[in-house]
Amino acid sequence: MRPATANGATDDWRLPYAGRVGMLSLIAAEAAIFVIFIVAYLFYLGKSASGPTPAILRPPIVLSVCLLSSSITMELALGGLRRGRAARFGGWWILTIVLGAVFIAGTAVEWRHLIVDEGLTVSTNLFGTTFYSLVGLHLLHVVIGVTLMTVVAVLWAGRRLADAHVPKVEVLSMYWHFVDVVWVVVFTVVYLVGR
């Protein structure tokens, strides 16, 4: 917890850091959006009149491991940042970005296979519509996360990352962890429960 910045007073009047509260609120809003897409996915399971079914899906285990371990590498990077170890931060941070990028690329490969080989597009049937919408919404959030992380990486490379920025990078890490948690849920719903 940080002291209430508006006051400048540093005695025992301590309120939470606004960036953290703001990001948590945003995460709540995003979670609500995902819930609706998940509800639609579950509601329409088994209801497609024709066309490919979830049986054609191959669980992306490797990609999931990449994405979920990126949360760990991000925490390691943050550890380095909090202790002022710039090199440690940079290495782990870049690795986090790479893992995110691998997830994106791997998803693109998986989708290409689904579209070209299995004939599943967003307009094929209910499964296609709900699958691409839900997984695509998550993918969009991964892309946004990777983009924001790249911005931070550029700042770090230009030696512009200061102590004052640490809370903001922490706030970004909250977003990234949220993206990973959503993936756990989406993976479970789409590749385990639904198949």
**Closest approach of another protein to the CB of residue 32, in Å:** 4
Cα 104 to Cα 107: distance, rounded to the nearest angstrom: 5
**Closest approach of another protein to the CB of residue 68, in Å:** 25
Count of residues that bind another protein according to CB under 8 A: 38
Nearer CB in complex with another protein: 6/192: 6
Q: Which of 144, 135, 111 is nearest to 37 (CA)?
A: 135
Is 178 a residue that touches another protein (CB under 8 A)?
A: no
Is 164 a residue that touches another protein (CB under 8 A)?
A: no
- Using CA atoms in the order 163, 165, 168, 173, what is the torsion angle rounded to 10 degrees? -70
Q: Which residue(s) pair with 3 in the sheet?
A: 14
Q: Contact at 8 Å (CB) between 139 and 104?
A: yes
CA–chain centroid gap for 164, Å, is 24
**Closest approach of another protein to the CB of residue 94, in Å:** 29
Cα 192 to Cα 123: distance, rounded to the nearest angstrom: 23
Q: Which of residues 100-159 bind another protein (CB under 8 A)?
A: 121-123, 125-126, 129-130, 133, 137
Is 6 a residue that touches another protein (CB under 8 A)?
A: yes
Q: Which amino acid is at 94?
A: I
Tell the residue number behind the tokens 């970004």, with chain if given.
172
Nearer CB in complex with another protein: 37/89: 37
Q: Which residues bind another protein (CB under 8 A)?
A: 4-7, 9, 13, 15-19, 21-22, 25-26, 28-30, 32-33, 35-37, 40, 43-44, 47-49, 121-123, 125-126, 129-130, 133, 137
